[in-house]
């Protein structure tokens, strides 16, 4: 199957058509540790676009990610690509390491800086990034005030929230002020908590859902999750590790790719518009798209139910 055969999905009431897999920019061009390679990042973006990915998500928090994407987009457009065919998402709130600001003043400044780095006149989606409370965001003089102003002028096309906290997502969805929810580590083989309340609420209010970190920081990448665990600290809890290892062993016994099973499991959930994959290089985006389009045994999903998913 060709990835393009999977078509596009509607991003809630924004009506934007997005590819069911999007490119996440958190590790774009990462070589080792905190080192990044611009040409590797640009090649990764180009490869994703060539394969049919049209959604790219980034943030000022992700090091040089916005700048790398901007270089890639300029080159892509110079070669005939059209900006209007893409959905570009970035975030506001981050000031510098350890410092976040959810004021209207900073939000305006942050979005303008993102636009300059990305080399675009508008953002398709502007997400408020990782607030611990929505009160500073929605209060007079808060980020939402600035985002709604920019939405009215066309500087941004949709307003969203990017955070893991499910109660905050529910509050945002039900408020009527947010068009998109980007949750992460909450819908995959290990953790399906987004399906409990967020996905039903998003459908009710016609909010588009983006599914981030679906490989659970490497636990569901297809390699033995025990190799990834030492670098994940408390995230690799005994409960997560037990489930990750069980799924990995299940995949090994059946000779299937755990990455393929996990990503296709995510795509089977039609209430999710797009699942984001955080590729560092072209090889990784190739592997992700190959996993999504791989043919799996017909009994895969029935088999999965026996180990707690499906």
Tokens 């890639």 -> residue = 72
Q: Quick one: how far is CA 195 from the chain centroid?
A: 17
How far is the C-alpha of 258 from the C-alpha of 254, rounded, in Å? 10
How far is the C-alpha of 279 from the C-alpha of 97, rounded, in Å? 23
With a CB cutoff of 8 Å and minimum separation 6, the contacts of 64 are: 29, 36, 38, 41
- The phi and psi torsions of 19 (rounded to 5 degrees) equal -70, 145
62 flagged as catalytic:
yes
Tokens 């981050």 -> residue = 94
How far is the C-alpha of 191 from the C-alpha of 212, rounded, in Å? 12
Neighbours of 270 (CB within 10 A): 10
Residue in 29, 141, 143 with CA at minimum distance from that of residue 91: 143
How far is the C-alpha of 151 from the C-alpha of 308, rounded, in Å? 42
How far is the C-alpha of 271 from the C-alpha of 52, rounded, in Å? 21
Specify the pairing of strand 159-162 against strand 125-129.
parallel
- The phi and psi torsions of 191 (rounded to 5 degrees) equal -130, 120
How would DSSP label each residue in 192-203? -GGGTTHHHHHH
Residues forming beta bridges with residue 186, ordered by sequence position = none
Catalytic residue, chosen from 62, 76, 248, 250, is 62
> Helix 282-293 crosses helix 38-51 at what angle (to 10 degrees)?
20
- Cα Rg of the chain (Å, integer): 19
Catalytically active residues are 62
């Amino acid at each position: 199957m060709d990835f393009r055969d999977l078509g596009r999905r509607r991003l809630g009431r924004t009506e934007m058509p997005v590819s069911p897999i999007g490119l996440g920019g958190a590790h774009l061009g990462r070589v080792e540790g905190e080192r990044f390679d611009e040409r590797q990042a640009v090649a990764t973006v180009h490869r994703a676009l060539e394969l049919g990915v049209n959604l790219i998500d980034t943030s000022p928090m992700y090091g040089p990610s916005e700048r790398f994407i901007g270089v890639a987009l300029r080159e892509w457009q110079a070669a005939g690509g059209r900006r209007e065919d893409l959905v570009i998402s970035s975030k506001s709130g981050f000031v510098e390491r350890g410092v976040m600001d959810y004021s209207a003043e900073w939000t305006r400044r942050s979005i303008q800086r993102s636009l300059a780095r990305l080399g675009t006149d508008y953002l398709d989606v502007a997400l408020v990034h990782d607030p611990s409370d929505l009160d500073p965001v929605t209060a007079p003089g808060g980020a939402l005030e600035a985002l709604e102003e920019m939405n009215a002028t066309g500087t941004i096309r949709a307003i969203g929230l990017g955070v893991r906290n499910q109660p905050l997502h529910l509050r945002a969805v039900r408020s009527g002020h947010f068009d998109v929810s980007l949750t992460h580590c909450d819908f995959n083989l290990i953790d399906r908590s987004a399906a409990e309340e967020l996905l039903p609420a998003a459908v009710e209010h016609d909010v588009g859902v983006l599914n981030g970190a679906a490989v659970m920081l490497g636990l569901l990448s297809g390699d033995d999750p025990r190799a990834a665990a030492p670098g994940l600290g408390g995230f690799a809890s005994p409960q997560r590790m037990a489930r990750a290892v069980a799924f990995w062993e299940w995949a090994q016994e059946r000779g299937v790719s755990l990455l393929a099973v996990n990503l296709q499991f995510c795509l089977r959930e039609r209430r999710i518009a797009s699942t984001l994959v955080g590729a560092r290089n072209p090889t990784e985006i190739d592997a992700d798209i190959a996993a999504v389009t791989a043919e799996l045994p017909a009994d895969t999903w029935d088999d999965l139910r026996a180990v707690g998913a499906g």
